[in-house]
Amino acid sequence: MKKLEQLYEGKAKKVFKTDNADHYLIEYKDDATAFNGEKRGSIEDKGVVNNLMSAKMFQLLENEGVESHLVELLNDREMLVKAVEIIQVEVIVRNVATGSMVRRLGIEDGITLEPTVLEYCLKSDAFGDPIINDYHIAAMKLATEDEMKQIRDMAFKINEFMKETFIKLDLKLIDFKLEFGRFKGKIILADEISPDTCRFWEVGTNRKMDKDRFRQDLGNVKATYQEVLKKVQTL
């Protein structure tokens, strides 16, 4: 496999072409942003944690029948993935109210959501990832109704598996963001699953074990990312 020219650079990852048209190479960076790019910084070795943790989560999900873009973990910072066309919708699953949901709706922070809440946001830095619904998605031709049904079913299945998995590690899965892509006519899970894209609260103490430590300047950011990875590596 040859790493060829860079296709795209996002806030946390770079995507490269490879000599196989079906595969891209993703390189995870240490750069961290929050609040739609307003807060910028870096978390030492975050790229390593997010790459290794995402690969592990994709492997576990594959065993549960959820296909992802992971082809192969290459090294600490790089993975080989299927060359998907990313659907421009961020899918957010919320088990407990916090973050933007609390700010937007005035709902009490930390309240369990029954049923679990699914939200969609348009993937657009220029517009600050605004919330959209199934009608916007259809009218903007972001995805078909059938694709959205598959995405919804996968998101709930992933949530059930991840809730059960993380509770065994003494981590409560509060909320997380998923992205999906099209690959050879199928919808598959893409992007990453990491402390950047999920919120975890430690069972018993409610200590925040995710990017909120960076967003809210809570300290011990690097150590907490490492701690989450260590737990995931026991799975």
For strands 186-190 and 131-132, give the pairing.
unpaired
**Given candidates 99, 107, 165, 226, which one binds ligand UDP under the rule CB under 6 A?**
99
- Give 28 or 176: the residue with its C-beta nearer to ligand UDP: 176
Residue 45 in contact with ligand UDP, rule: CB under 6 A: no
| CB of 200 closer than 8 Å to CB of 166 | yes
- Please tell me whether residue 164 adopts helix, strand or coil conformation: helix
Q: Which amino acid is at 168?
A: K
- Choose between 78 and 175: whose C-beta lies nearer to ligand UDP: 175
Closest to ligand UDP by CB, 74 or 113 = 113
As a 3-state breakdown, the chain gives helix, strand, coil percent values, each rounded to 5, of 30, 35, 35
Neighbours of 53 (CB within 10 A): 24
Contacts with ligand UDP in 134-163 (CB under 6 A)?
Answer: none
Instruction: Work out how close the CB of 21 gets to ligand UDP at its nearest, in angstroms, rounded to a whole number.
Output: 29
Compute how many residues bind ligand UDP; rule: CB under 6 A. 14
Q: Is 197 in the site for ligand UDP (CB under 6 A)?
A: yes
CB 153 within 8 A of CB 93: no
Map residue 1 onto helix, strand or coil.
coil
Hey, how many other C-beta atoms are within 10 angstroms of the C-beta on 44? Answer: 12
Q: How far is the CB of 167 from ligand UDP (least distance, A)?
A: 17
CB nearer to ligand UDP: give 185 or 209: 209
Nearer to ligand UDP, 27 or 90 (CB): 90
* Of positions 52, 57, 61, 175, contacts ligand UDP by CB under 6 A: 175
Query: For ligand UDP, which residue of 129, 147, 170, 202 counts as binding (CB under 6 A)?
Result: 129
208 binds ligand UDP (CB under 6 A): no
Q: Does 176 bind ligand UDP (CB under 6 A)?
A: yes
Residue 91 has φ and ψ, to the nearest 5°, of: -105, 120
Whole-number Å distance between alpha carbons of 201 and 42: 22
> Could you give the 3-state DSSP secondary structure of residue 103?
helix
The three-state secondary structure class of 197 is coil
Q: Please select the residue that binds ligand UDP; options are 69, 208, 211, 213, rule is CB under 6 A.
A: 211
Beta strands in the chain (DSSP E): 3-9, 13-18, 23-28, 31-34, 39-42, 70-73, 78-82, 85-86, 89-96, 112-122, 131-132, 171-183, 186-190, 198-202
Does 177 bind ligand UDP (CB under 6 A)? Our answer is yes
Under the binding rule (CB under 6 A), the answer on residue 100 touching ligand UDP is: yes
Residue with Cβ nearer ligand UDP (146 or 155): 155
Report the interface residues with ligand UDP, using CB under 6 A. 90, 92, 99-101, 129, 175-177, 196-199, 211
